[in-house]
Amino acid sequence: MTALPTAVPAVFLDRDGVLIEDSGYPHREADLVLLPGATEAVRRLNSLGYTAVIVTNQSGVARGLFTEDQMHAFNALLVRRFAARGARIAAVYACPFHDEAEDPRWFHPDHPDRKPNPGMILRAIAEHHIDPARSFLIGDKASDLEAAKRAGMPGFLFEGGNLDHFVRELLGG
Protein backbone atom coordinates (compact mmCIF):
# COMPACT_ATOMS: atom_id res chain seq x y z
CA MET A 1 0.00 0.00 0.00
CA THR A 2 1.42 3.33 -1.05
CA ALA A 3 0.77 6.31 1.17
CA LEU A 4 -0.26 9.52 -0.50
CA PRO A 5 2.37 12.23 -0.11
CA THR A 6 1.54 14.61 2.72
CA ALA A 7 1.35 18.29 1.86
CA VAL A 8 4.32 20.17 3.26
CA PRO A 9 4.52 23.49 5.10
CA ALA A 10 6.30 26.28 3.25
CA VAL A 11 7.84 29.64 3.89
CA PHE A 12 7.33 32.17 1.10
CA LEU A 13 10.14 34.69 0.98
CA ASP A 14 10.30 37.99 -0.80
CA ARG A 15 13.75 38.39 -2.37
CA ASP A 16 14.89 42.04 -2.41
CA GLY A 17 15.06 43.50 1.08
CA VAL A 18 14.56 40.13 2.77
CA LEU A 19 17.21 37.74 1.40
CA ILE A 20 19.43 40.17 -0.48
CA GLU A 21 20.10 43.87 -0.37
CA ASP A 22 17.53 45.92 -2.25
CA SER A 23 19.94 48.10 -4.19
CA GLY A 24 17.29 49.02 -6.79
CA TYR A 25 16.57 46.36 -9.43
CA PRO A 26 19.48 44.07 -8.50
CA HIS A 27 20.38 41.78 -11.42
CA ARG A 28 24.18 41.65 -11.76
CA GLU A 29 26.42 39.29 -9.83
CA ALA A 30 27.88 42.31 -8.00
CA ASP A 31 24.34 43.17 -6.80
CA LEU A 32 23.97 39.83 -5.06
CA VAL A 33 24.61 40.89 -1.47
CA LEU A 34 23.11 38.50 1.07
CA LEU A 35 21.43 40.18 4.03
CA PRO A 36 22.48 39.26 7.58
CA GLY A 37 21.03 35.96 8.76
CA ALA A 38 19.45 35.15 5.39
CA THR A 39 21.11 31.78 4.75
CA GLU A 40 20.91 30.84 8.44
CA ALA A 41 17.16 31.60 8.44
CA VAL A 42 16.53 29.39 5.41
CA ARG A 43 18.66 26.62 6.91
CA ARG A 44 16.69 26.86 10.16
CA LEU A 45 13.37 26.73 8.29
CA ASN A 46 14.56 23.78 6.18
CA SER A 47 15.53 21.89 9.32
CA LEU A 48 12.03 22.43 10.70
CA GLY A 49 10.54 20.93 7.55
CA TYR A 50 9.64 24.10 5.67
CA THR A 51 9.97 24.21 1.90
CA ALA A 52 11.44 27.62 1.03
CA VAL A 53 9.97 29.40 -1.99
CA ILE A 54 10.93 32.85 -3.27
CA VAL A 55 8.15 35.04 -4.66
CA THR A 56 9.50 38.22 -6.22
CA ASN A 57 8.16 41.07 -8.37
CA GLN A 58 10.75 41.85 -11.05
CA SER A 59 9.38 44.75 -13.05
CA GLY A 60 12.95 45.54 -14.11
CA VAL A 61 12.26 43.22 -17.06
CA ALA A 62 9.15 45.16 -18.10
CA ARG A 63 11.03 48.43 -17.60
CA GLY A 64 13.79 47.27 -19.96
CA LEU A 65 16.51 47.34 -17.27
CA PHE A 66 17.44 43.68 -17.75
CA THR A 67 16.22 40.68 -19.72
CA GLU A 68 14.13 37.75 -18.54
CA ASP A 69 17.19 35.51 -19.08
CA GLN A 70 19.32 37.77 -16.88
CA MET A 71 16.61 37.63 -14.22
CA HIS A 72 16.57 33.82 -14.29
CA ALA A 73 20.38 33.63 -14.24
CA PHE A 74 20.53 35.96 -11.25
CA ASN A 75 17.94 33.89 -9.38
CA ALA A 76 19.81 30.68 -10.19
CA LEU A 77 23.01 32.23 -8.85
CA LEU A 78 21.20 33.21 -5.66
CA VAL A 79 19.89 29.67 -5.19
CA ARG A 80 23.45 28.32 -5.67
CA ARG A 81 24.84 30.80 -3.12
CA PHE A 82 22.30 29.60 -0.58
CA ALA A 83 22.89 25.93 -1.42
CA ALA A 84 26.63 26.42 -0.91
CA ARG A 85 25.76 27.47 2.65
CA GLY A 86 23.47 24.50 3.24
CA ALA A 87 20.25 26.46 2.68
CA ARG A 88 17.79 24.92 0.24
CA ILE A 89 15.49 27.11 -1.83
CA ALA A 90 13.05 24.81 -3.61
CA ALA A 91 11.75 27.27 -6.20
CA VAL A 92 11.83 30.86 -7.35
CA TYR A 93 8.73 32.52 -8.79
CA ALA A 94 9.38 35.90 -10.38
CA CYS A 95 6.88 38.25 -12.01
CA PRO A 96 8.34 40.39 -14.84
CA PHE A 97 5.02 42.05 -15.79
CA HIS A 98 4.15 45.65 -15.10
CA ASP A 99 1.52 48.21 -16.08
CA GLU A 100 4.21 50.66 -17.22
CA ALA A 101 6.14 48.19 -19.36
CA GLU A 102 8.43 49.55 -22.07
CA ASP A 103 8.14 46.25 -23.93
CA PRO A 104 4.54 45.23 -24.81
CA ARG A 105 5.39 41.57 -24.13
CA TRP A 106 5.63 42.42 -20.45
CA PHE A 107 2.69 44.77 -20.26
CA HIS A 108 -0.20 43.81 -18.04
CA PRO A 109 -2.55 46.23 -16.27
CA ASP A 110 -2.82 43.98 -13.19
CA HIS A 111 -1.05 40.66 -13.65
CA PRO A 112 -2.35 37.91 -11.35
CA ASP A 113 1.27 37.08 -10.42
CA ARG A 114 2.30 40.59 -9.47
CA LYS A 115 2.09 41.08 -5.73
CA PRO A 116 -0.21 42.15 -4.03
CA ASN A 117 -1.93 39.54 -6.22
CA PRO A 118 -1.40 35.99 -4.96
CA GLY A 119 -0.77 34.20 -8.30
CA MET A 120 2.82 33.11 -7.62
CA ILE A 121 1.94 31.80 -4.16
CA LEU A 122 -1.10 29.89 -5.43
CA ARG A 123 0.92 28.34 -8.26
CA ALA A 124 3.67 27.28 -5.86
CA ILE A 125 1.09 25.68 -3.55
CA ALA A 126 -0.21 23.58 -6.44
CA GLU A 127 3.18 22.76 -7.98
CA HIS A 128 5.03 21.89 -4.76
CA HIS A 129 2.29 20.13 -2.84
CA ILE A 130 2.26 22.80 -0.14
CA ASP A 131 -0.20 22.98 2.75
CA PRO A 132 -1.22 26.66 2.91
CA ALA A 133 -2.67 26.19 6.39
CA ARG A 134 0.82 25.50 7.76
CA SER A 135 2.61 28.09 5.64
CA PHE A 136 3.49 31.77 5.94
CA LEU A 137 5.26 34.59 4.12
CA ILE A 138 7.99 37.05 5.04
CA GLY A 139 8.23 40.30 3.09
CA ASP A 140 9.42 43.86 3.51
CA LYS A 141 6.46 45.63 1.89
CA ALA A 142 2.72 45.92 2.47
CA SER A 143 2.16 44.39 -1.00
CA ASP A 144 3.96 41.22 0.13
CA LEU A 145 1.71 40.87 3.15
CA GLU A 146 -1.38 41.57 1.07
CA ALA A 147 -0.42 38.78 -1.36
CA ALA A 148 -0.10 36.39 1.59
CA LYS A 149 -3.49 37.48 2.89
CA ARG A 150 -5.10 36.91 -0.52
CA ALA A 151 -3.52 33.44 -0.60
CA GLY A 152 -5.03 32.73 2.82
CA MET A 153 -1.91 32.67 4.94
CA PRO A 154 -0.21 34.95 7.45
CA GLY A 155 2.44 37.39 6.29
CA PHE A 156 5.10 38.97 8.48
CA LEU A 157 6.84 42.29 7.87
CA PHE A 158 10.64 42.15 8.01
CA GLU A 159 11.97 45.65 8.65
CA GLY A 160 15.67 44.90 8.57
CA GLY A 161 18.12 43.48 11.04
CA ASN A 162 19.03 39.81 11.16
CA LEU A 163 16.59 37.55 9.31
CA ASP A 164 17.50 34.49 11.35
CA HIS A 165 16.76 36.30 14.62
CA PHE A 166 13.46 37.46 13.12
CA VAL A 167 12.52 33.90 12.11
CA ARG A 168 13.56 32.49 15.48
CA GLU A 169 11.25 34.96 17.24
CA LEU A 170 8.41 34.26 14.81
CA LEU A 171 8.67 30.57 15.57
CA GLY A 172 8.68 31.27 19.26
CA GLY A 173 12.13 30.60 20.48
Q: Could you say whether residue 113 binds Mg ion (CB under 5 A)?
A: no
Q: Which of 14, 113, 144, 164 is catalytic?
A: 14
User: Cis bond leading into 116, ω under 30°?
Assistant: yes
Q: Could you say whether residue 40 binds Mg ion (CB under 5 A)?
A: no
How buried is 33 (Cβ within 10 angstroms: 0-12 exposed, 13-18 middle, 19+ buried)? exposed
Q: Which of 39, 9, 3 is nearest to 124 (CA)?
A: 9
Q: Which of 7, 8, 17, 146 binds Mg ion (CB under 5 A)?
A: 17
Region of 12-20, 59-67, 113-121, 157-165 interacting with Mg ion (CB under 5 A): 12-20
Packing angle, helices 142-150 and 119-127, rounded to 10 = 50
Question: Which residue lies nearer to Mg ion by CB, 19 or 153?
Answer: 19
Question: Is 103 a residue of the active site?
Answer: no
| Residue 56 CA to its chain's centroid (Å) | 5
Region of 9-17, 41-49, 105-113, 128-136 interacting with Mg ion (CB under 5 A): 9-17
Each residue 131-150 as x (binds Mg ion by CB under 5 A) or -, in order, gives ---------x----------
List all residues 6 or more positions away from 154 whose beta carbon is below 8 Å from its beta carbon. 136, 137, 148
How far, in Å, CA of 158 to CA of 100, rounded?
27
Question: Is 69 a residue of the active site?
Answer: no
Q: Could you say whether residue 116 binds Mg ion (CB under 5 A)?
A: no
Residues annotated as part of the active site: 14, 16
| Interface residues toward Mg ion, by CB under 5 A | 14, 16-17, 140
